[in-house]
Chains A and B, each alone.
Chain A
């Protein structure tokens, strides 16, 4: 699985959009981009995933660049409950099922 690079931490004002970047420059054509988040000492929560096209669900939007070397997770209206560590994971369509978690981005939503 390709390696990902994320900023260590970010702040966002409550009510504003939180844009979390992820670099995955070595991603290959059959690899998906997954996002999970982990609120302190809880299990990781699945947010969204995508292959090429931008994706949106009730939680967030995922924007993947045309060359697929980077992506951005967007939380449209951040709330205090969105404070968490956000993990960007690149995952192949074939092979083992396990996820490789990096260090993620610690997002702090400020009142």
Chain B
């Protein structure tokens, strides 16, 4: 069974631009969560989607948004990029998104903002 896939793997943008990252969950998984990882803050939860609805949200500004499609694929968008948005963005999927479901992570998208 294929794992979680994320595209693109690497991305370079400049300040003020916007970016869209994509995540395809493991087949059959309906919950997708997004995390940001930076050297200073570590791994932090952004938001979770289930059945095309945002079900849970971390403490990030509104410039960070996401959506989920009917096939459970998810995208996250960051608008008006700042230098501090440079990070590894990770997507994780699980069956139903219950707190007892194991989350499986993708390889991440490395975003560099210049």
- Could you tell me if B99 and A43 are in contact, using CB atoms closer than 8 angstroms? no
B: contact size bracket: 20 to 34
Complex interface: chain A residues within 8 A of B55 (CB): 97
With an 8 A cutoff between CB atoms, is B31 at the interface? yes
Residues of chain B within 8 A (CB-CB) of A44 are 43, 90, 92, 105
Q: In chain B, what residue has the closest Cβ to A42?
A: B107
B107 / chain A contacts, CB cutoff of 8 Å: 42-43
Residues of B within 8 A of A34 (CB): 102
The proximity string for B residues 89-114 relative to A, scoring 1 for CB distances below 8 Å and 0 otherwise, is 01010100111111111111010000
B21 CB–A CB distance under 8 Å = no
Q: Mark A73-111, 1 if CB is under 8 A from B, else 0.
A: 000000000000001000111111111111100000000
Bits for B59-97, please: 1 = Cβ < 8 Å to A, else 0: 000000000000000000000000000001010101001
The chain A residues found within 8 Å of chain B, CB to CB, are: 32, 34, 36, 41-46, 49, 87, 91-103
Not counting A99-B92, A101-B42, a sample of 12 additional A-B residue pairs whose C-beta atoms are within 8 angstroms of each other reads A41-B110, A43-B106, A46-B102, A49-B102, A87-B43, A91-B99, A94-B99, A97-B56, A98-B33, A98-B45, A98-B58, A100-B45
B residues with a Cβ closer than 8 A to A are 4, 31, 33, 35, 42-45, 48, 55-56, 58, 88, 90, 92, 94, 97-108, 110
